[in-house]
Structure 1
Amino acid sequence: MRHRRQPRIAALLLAGLLTAACQQEPPPPPAPPQNGYGATERAFVELAIATDEQALKLVALDDNPSLVENRETELAELRKLLDAPYVNNHAGHDMPGMPTDAEIQLASDSPDARKQFVHAHLTESLEVLRSAGSAITHPPTAEVVKLMERHRTAELAAG
């Protein structure tokens, strides 16, 4: 008789626990970071650093010192935003605005390819920046996004 009560008691306890658990409210979503620098900002900064590091290799081949200066300025500002050591999680990726090693190699041998790849970097990264601008809420990161947008817009206008 003892064996029959234990399963019934266990079933009643389990039912009671499930009922209590189902009546509880779900936990609140995690609070945003105190300073507003969250996962979106961190992801943007890491991507922008990786993109600018690759772009710097490409624009260094061009005869336009302002392109190099702008990428170096952006990299300095982006690194100031980091809240942890930088790890390039995008090495070797083929993403909009990020020149690949193969493109950089081709650009080093062909002025036409260089012009095409620089233009692609500028237009594609400008699209990424515009998208990021609507998602970034951390004011210092938003300022860097605006700086980068100004650079790309001016660089495209200059040809």
Structure 2
Amino acid sequence: MTVLLLAGLLAACQQEPPPAASPPQAQNSYGATERAFVELAIATDEQALKLLEHAGRPELTANRNTELAELRKLLDAPYVNQHAGHDMPGMPTDAEIQLAATSPDALDQFVRTHLTESLEVVRSARTAITHPPTAEVVALMERHRTAELAGS
């Protein structure tokens, strides 16, 4: 019996211990959700600036530049545009930007689409973001989009 017990103990000692559970993201910390939102918002605002240069609404350009400055302050690592070439809600595509440059009707449509769709994204982020500085930028973006839509 002693031999069996000893063999069992030796076998157990040779097994690797289970991996330590990673601690849950602390409430109010900058985590994966915040980083994903910041990266998406930067990519969207950068594309929007290309569209808005044709819109003749300098307040929209100023707002995007303000947002970009605040968003970049939140990054915890170098920014890499993971969304280049994507067709995402609120993010003007290169084809839309090219068409908007030659068609006032398309420009108006794409600006309005950017504003309404990016407002939806921001409102969704508001419910998911717990990091206070990121939440402040989300609130800023929501105020911008709401005022911009009211002025269009």
What TM-score comes out, normalization by structure 1 length?
0.82
Counterpart residue number, 1:118: 111
From 68, 71, 77, the equivalent of 2:64 is 71
Does residue 81 of structure 2 align to residue 108 of structure 1?
no
Q: Distance in 2 between matches of 1:27 and 1:133?
A: 32
Structure with the largest fraction of helix:
1
RMSD of aligned Cα (Å): 2.5
- Unpaired segments of 5 or more residues in structure 1? 1-8
Does residue 128 of structure 2 align to residue 131 of structure 1?
no
SS at match of 1:30: coil
Percent identity between the two aligned chains: 73
Aligned positions, number: 144
From 149, 153, 156, the equivalent of 2:142 is 149
Q: Contact conserved, 2:27 with 2:130, CA < 8 A, in 1?
A: no
Q: Looking at CA atoms only, which structure, 1 or 2, has the larger radius of gyration? A: 1
From 74, 91, 96, the equivalent of 1:81 is 74
- 1:105-156 Cα offsets, whole Å, 9 max, x none, are 0000000000000000000000000000000000000000000000000000
- Unpaired segments of 5 or more residues in structure 2? none
Q: Contact conserved, 2:28 with 2:132, CA < 8 A, in 1?
A: no
